Chain A
Amino acid sequence: MFESKSGVLLIGGVGFFVIAFLSNALVPALMYRHLPEATVTELVERNSNLKYQFEDLSHRYPEQFAKYYGEPTQENCAEALRLGRQTYVNEGCWHCHSQFIRPVSREEDRWGPVSKTEEYQNELQRPVMFGTRRVGPDLCREGGRHGNDWHAAHFFKPQLVSHHSPMPEYPWLFDGSPNEPNRRGLALITYIQWLGSWLESYPYYEEWEPISAKPAP
C-alpha cells in the first residue's frame, strides 16, 4: 500500500488532499453559510458615510467627476466601488497593505476594532483582501481618516503628503495633475474611503501619545 501506485495516488494524492480540504476549507464555509453575502448595491444603499464621500468627490472635482461618472448616484457609486477594488487588486496595493486588525500587538489602539467575519461577507471581498504584508499601514479602517484631496495627492505622489514614504506614485490614475483624478483614480479613492465606513467607530483616530511625553518609569 505505501509503495504501490494506487496507494500513493489514491491515499496520498487524493485522499489526504480531500481530508485537508474538508477540514480546512469546507468547515468554515459551512459555519458561515447563514451569513448573507452582501452585493455592492446593498453595501452602497445602507452606507451614508460612503455616500458623503462620493458626493464630496463630485463637489471637489466637478469636471472630472461629471466626465467619468456624471451624477453621484447609488449606481455610479457601486460602479466606482467595483472598479476601485479592481484597481486595488491590479496595481498590487494588497501586497503592501493588509485589511485585517488582529487582537494582538496593540493593533486595536492603532487601527480600531478587531476585524469580524461579517465585515468580509460581501462581493468586494471575493477573493478576500486580508493581505499578508504591511509595508504601509493596514487599510481596513482607513475610510474617513483622510480627506479625498489628501488621497488624490497621495496617489499622485505619496511623498507630497508623507515624506519618507516608499510607496510608488500612480500618475496614471490622473489626467495630468493631482486635481484631476480620472475614472480609475476616483474609483480607487471611493474604494479606500469605503474601508471601515460601515463601523460605529468611523472615522477611527488613534489616541496617540508620543513616547517622550510619557513620564519615565
Chain B
Amino acid sequence: MINAQVRPVAGATHEELVDEPLVVAYFLTALVFLSISMLAGFLMALQLVNWNPLRGVELLSPGRWRMVHTNAIAYGFLANAFLGALHWAIPRLTLKPVLDRRLSWFIYSAWQVVVLGTALGILLGPTLQANSSALAALPFSLGAQGVEWGETPVWIDPLALAGLALVAINFMPPIIRTGGPLYVTLWYFMAAFVWTFLTYAMGNFLPQYALAGTSAGAVGGLFIHDLVGLFVTPLGWGLMYYFVPIMLRKPMWSHGLSLVGFWGLAFFYPLNGIHHFLYTPIPMFLQSGAIISTIAVEMVVTTVLVNFFGTIWGSGRAVVTNLPIRWFYTGMVFYGITCLQCALQTTLTFQALIHFSDWVVGHAHLVMFGVFSMWLLGIMTYLFPRLWHTEWYSRELCEWHYWLSAVGLFVMAADLTLAGVFQGFYWASLQPWEDSVDGSMPFWIVRVFAGVAMMAGQGCFFWNLYQTWRVSRGALPAFASAPVAAAS
C-alpha cells in the first residue's frame, strides 16, 4: 500500500520532515513551465519549416521565444522540479527538517518571480524600451543578456543569485547536522549548492562587466557547460543514488565506484567548458585541455553507469513492472549515449564537421530531456501518488506518457544528429548556403512531429494528473488500476 511506505521514521514523523504541499507546488509549477518551454520550442520548430502561422508579431517572435524555451526548461522546469524533489529527499534522508518552512515558501515564491521575470524580460523588455524614452535611457537592457543559457536579463541576475544562496542556506542545516560519513546523495547535493551559486555568478557577471572578447568566450563556455555539469548533473545523480536503491530495495552495487564517480566528475567536469568554442581564438592549449578533460569525464561516467547497472542486475524485471525505474534507467541509457557522443564530438576531427550544426541541438535535447527531464518525470510518477495518497488514476496513461516521451525524444535526437552531419558536409563542400537550408528541411519536418509526440506524452500526463487529483479529493471513484511502481 502507498500509505504504508510513508511511515514515520525514527525521531520525526514524515509530516514533520516533508512539507508535502510545497513539493506539490514545486512539481505543478515545474510542469507549467515545461509546457511553456515545449510550446516555445514548437513555435521555433514551425518557424524553421516555414509553417509558423503567427508571423511578424513582435511578442511572438521566434527569436525571443527560443530563449524562453531554454530558460524555461533550465530555470522553470528543471530547477523547480529539482527543488521539489530535494524537499522530499533531503529531510527523509537526513531525518531532519530543512532550516525553516517559511523560508522554503519564500524561496518558492522568489524563484517564480525570477523565472517569470526572465520570461517577461526577454519577451517584453525590448518592446518596452523601444516605446518609452525613459526606459530607453536606462544604462542596461531590459531584455535578454548575451550569454547562452544565461539570457536572464541583467536586472534579474542579482535576485536569482540571492535565491540560490537562500536555497543553500535552507538545505544545508539538515546535512550539516548529520553525523558521520555522508551518503553519496548528500555529496552531490552539497557540491551542487556550492557549484550552482559559483557557476551562476561567474557566467552572468564576468562576461558582462569584467571581461571582453576571447576571455569572455572562455568564461561563456565554462558557464554553458557548468550549468549542465555542476547544477543539473549533480542534483540529478544525487537523486538517482537516493531513489534507485529505495525502489529496488537494495544498496548500490559498489560504494567504491560511487566514490570514483563523484570525485571524477567533481574534478574533470569543471575543466570541460572551453570545448564549446573549439577553433576559436581561445588559446589552443586550453582547447586541448578541455578536450582531454571531456574524454576523462566519459570514462568517469562509465564507472557511474556500471555501478547503476550492477545495482539493477538480477532485478531487471523492474524496468517492466516499475515505471519510475523504467524512466530512470532509460535516462541512464540516454546518458551513456550522450556522454559517448560527447567524447567523440569534442575531438577536433568531429568539431570541424559538426560544430554550429543541428548535431549540437540534438545533443542538447538528449541531455536536457532524455536524461534529466526523464529522471524528474520518473520521480514525479513515483511521488505524486505518495503526495496525494492514492494510486495513479490510470497506469495506461502513465505508459503512454513514458512511450511518447521516450520515442519522441529518441526520434528527435537521432534526426537532429543526422541533420548535423548533413549540414556539416553541405557547408564544407562550399555549396551555396541556401542548399544547406533546403537540405535540412526533411530533418526539421521530422523534428516537428517528434516534438508533437513529446507534447502529446505530457498531455497524457497532465490529464492523468488531473484525474488522480480528483480521485484523491474523492470527486472521482478510484479506478482499479495496476500500481505503477510495483515492488520488484
Contacts and interface: CB of A to CB of B under 8 A. Distances in A.
B66 A95 contact: yes
B130 A184 contact: yes
Interface stretch (A6-14, A42-50, A53-61, A197-205): A6-14
Nearest to A10: B194
A71 interface: no
B240 to A, nearest CB: 17
B195 A17 contact: yes
B289 A23 contact: yes
Interface in A163-181: 163-166, 168-172
Contacts of B286: 23-24, 27-28
Contact of B208 (A3, A104, A126, A164): A126
Q: Summarize B's interface: helix, strand, loop or mixed.
A: helix
A102 interface: yes
Contacts of A29: 211, 215, 218
B216 A125 contact: yes
B212 interface: yes
Given A120-B213, A120-B214, A168-B47, A89 B202 contact: no
Given A37-B212, A105-B352, A106-B430, A87 B270 contact: no
Contacts of A147: none
B214 A4 contact: no
Contact of B58 (A126, A157, A165, A172): A172
B100 to A, nearest CB: 21
Contacts of A107: 427
A3 B222 contact: no
Contacts of A194: none
Contacts, number: 249
A125 B218 CA distance: 13
A95 B67 CA distance: 9
User: What's the interface size class on A, roughly?
Assistant: 35 or more
A107 B433 CA distance: 12
Interface in A60-108: 86-87, 89-96, 98, 100, 102-107
Given A25-B218, A127-B147, A166-B49, A17 B56 contact: no
Contacts of B190: 5, 8-9, 13
B327 interface: no
A105 B429 CA distance: 8
A126 B207 contact: yes
A119 to B, nearest CB: 8
A98 B356 contact: yes
Nearest to B355: A102
A24 B290 contact: yes
A20 to B, nearest CB: 3
B254 interface: no
Given A27-B286, A116-B281, A132 B148 contact: yes
Given A9-B194, A24-B290, A127-B146, A115 B429 contact: no
Given A12-B191, A24-B290, 4 more contacts: A17-B199, A86-B143, A95-B66, A166-B49
